[in-house]
């Protein structure tokens, strides 16, 4: 596997065009490549940026964006509000203010649909038959330090490697094992 980061210009909130960035900076893609795009860049493309000075209390915005939340005062350390958004356990609904130039950047809408649209665009641009796109974000794992990548949307690949029914090294048939390919790549 070869990982090739793509250096671009600054993608500017409150809205910027990801297709212009792709056209200007994306190197030639090859058959079976996997193209990863951060949720922040997709959200800026969708214009999901709110000026910080118009919000007042960030916690109110997070609660509004969350499907389910645990209040900050009930979370260990009180650093974040633990939330569920789009069936994903994510701190603060993924609402981000780092590298945002005075905006809160929300999570993108319909990341699966956007991954498909971007994939079809890239396949046409580079005359490809097989290509995958993964929309990524970072999250924390309870009881662990640091952040790690996750997929919040994908298109063009099967997300799991299923080991159920296969034999382990001692000949026992596995009943539960599935590897999450898209999160491992994110």
pTM for the whole structure: 0.93
Cα(118)–Cα(23) distance, integer angstroms: 12
- The class level of CATH for 1-48+108-186 reads alpha beta
Cα(120)–Cα(113) distance, integer angstroms: 11
134 within 8 A of 182, measured Cβ to Cβ: yes
Residue 140, CB half-sphere, CA atoms under 13 Å: how many?
14
Q: Digits of tens for pLDDT over the chain (186 positions)?
A: 899 999 999 999 999 999 999 999 999 999 999 999 999 999 999 999 999 999 989 999 999 999 999 988 888 788 888 899 999 999 999 999 999 999 999 999 999 999 999 999 999 999 999 999 999 999 888 778 888 999 999 999 999 999 999 999 999 999 988 999 999 999
Residues of the chain with CATH 3.30.1330.100: 1-48+108-186
């Amino acid at each position: 596997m070869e990982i090739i980061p793509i250096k671009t210009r600054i993608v500017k909130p409150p809205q910027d065009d990801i297709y212009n960035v792709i056209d200007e900076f994306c190197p030639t893609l090859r058959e079976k490549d996997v193209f990863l795009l951060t949720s922040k860049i997709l959200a800026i493309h969708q214009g999901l940026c709110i000026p910080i000075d118009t919000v007042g209390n960030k916690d109110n915005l997070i609660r509004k964006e969350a499907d389910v939340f645990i209040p900050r005062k009930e979370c260990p350390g009180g650093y974040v509000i633990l939330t569920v958004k789009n069936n994903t356990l994510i701190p603060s609904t993924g609402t981000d203010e780092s590298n945002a130039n005075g905006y809160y950047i929300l999570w993108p809408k319909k990341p699966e649909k956007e991954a498909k649209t971007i994939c079809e665009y890239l396949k046409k641009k580079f005359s490809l038959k097989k290509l995958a796109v993964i929309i990524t974000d970072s999250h924390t794992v309870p009881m662990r330090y640091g952040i790690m990548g996750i997929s919040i949307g994908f298109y063009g690949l099967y997300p799991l490697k299923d080991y159920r029914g296969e034999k382990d090294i001692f000949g026992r048939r596995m009943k539960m094992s599935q590897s999450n390919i898209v999160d491992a790549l994110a």
